[in-house]
Amino acid sequence: MNSSDFATYIPPSDLLQNKTILITGAGSGIGRAVACTYAKYGAQVLLLGRTAAKLEDVYDEITDSGFETPIILPMDLSIPEENQYLTLRKTLEENFKCLDGLVLNAGVLGQLSPLENVSFDSWNTVIQVNMHSGFLLIKACLSLLRHSPNASIIFTSSSVGRKARAYWGAYAVSKFATEGMMQLLADELENTSKIRVNSLNPKATNTPMRRAAYPGEDPGKNPSPEEIMSAYLYLMGEKSTGITGKSFDAR
């Protein structure tokens, strides 16, 4: 299959029934749309993000629609301490028998400028949020993902994580690392588990991050997060069983 198959994919309405799926950066942009869409297709979603008020807003949208009650997990992924990930692991293992999906979506842009002008502080934050947190979240979630009969991990990539572009600094480097981590984990798990691991590049999507990166652009020229959800449904649902270690574009 390839990315163009996503556009024609029509998921059944119970695609994610009885699934438990954790989404990072679930409070806004693409992560919010993923959480609401997965809930609509039957999943219980675990909403992880930095700003509790945004997560509560997503919670309200999901419960007001009559979908499975979500769980809110406020967590600042820029904090470079393993302890909070160990606490998360404990919380998850005490409350859930398994995890059926993990969408590593949270991300920050950092400074867009020549590499020599990027501050070390900005570099560190981007690498921590976009890369180190993915590693630590995998460590926190893997045992529960192994307990699922058919789990899917989706890493969030970017075009600049596949072909670098001047001035995209730590963001581009972190997305190259994301692709590398995806390939490495997929290779490790392919013959030892039922977990599939892939990366998805949303491509230009009308979100706060895109608008910050391209302030002069007409935001309306890019699709909304809701318009790219068939890729996220395909990769989380049964149809992608057996597909692992691949890099996809959402459209």
Ligand X SMILES: NC(=O)c1ccc[n+]([C@@H]2O[C@H](COP(=O)([O-])OP(=O)(O)OC[C@H]3O[C@@H](n4cnc5c(N)ncnc54)[C@H](OP(=O)(O)O)[C@@H]3O)[C@@H](O)[C@H]2O)c1
Q: At closest approach, how far in Å is the CB of 233 from ligand X?
A: 16
Question: What distance in Å separates the CA atoms of residue 206 and residue 219, rounded to the nearest whole number?
Answer: 6
Q: Retrieve residue 22's tokens.
A: 């954790």
Of 38, 59, 85, 171, which residue is the catalytic one?
Answer: 171
**CA torsion, ordered 203, 168, 184, 20, to nearest 10 deg:** -50
- Print the binding letters for residues 142-181 with ligand X: x by CB under 6 A, - otherwise: --------------x-x-----------------------
- Sites for ligand X among residues 88-147 (CB under 6 A): 105-108, 129
- Sites for ligand X among residues 211-250 (CB under 6 A): none
If phi > 0 it is left, if psi is from -120 to 50 it is alpha, else beta; for residue 176 that is alpha
- Rounded to 10°, the helix 133-146/83-95 angle is 20
Quick check: is 171 catalytic? yes
> What number of chain residues touch ligand X (CB under 6 A)?
28
- DSSP β-ladder status, 101-104 and 71-74: unpaired
Question: What distance in Å separates the CA atoms of residue 202 and residue 228, rounded to the nearest whole number?
Answer: 7
**Under rule CB under 6 A, residue 16 binds ligand X:** no
- Print the binding letters for residues 191-210 with ligand X: x by CB under 6 A, - otherwise: ----------xx-xx-xxxx
Active site residues: 171
The residues that touch ligand X, with contacts defined as CB under 6 A, are 25, 27-31, 49-51, 54, 76-78, 105-108, 129, 156, 158, 201-202, 204-205, 207-210
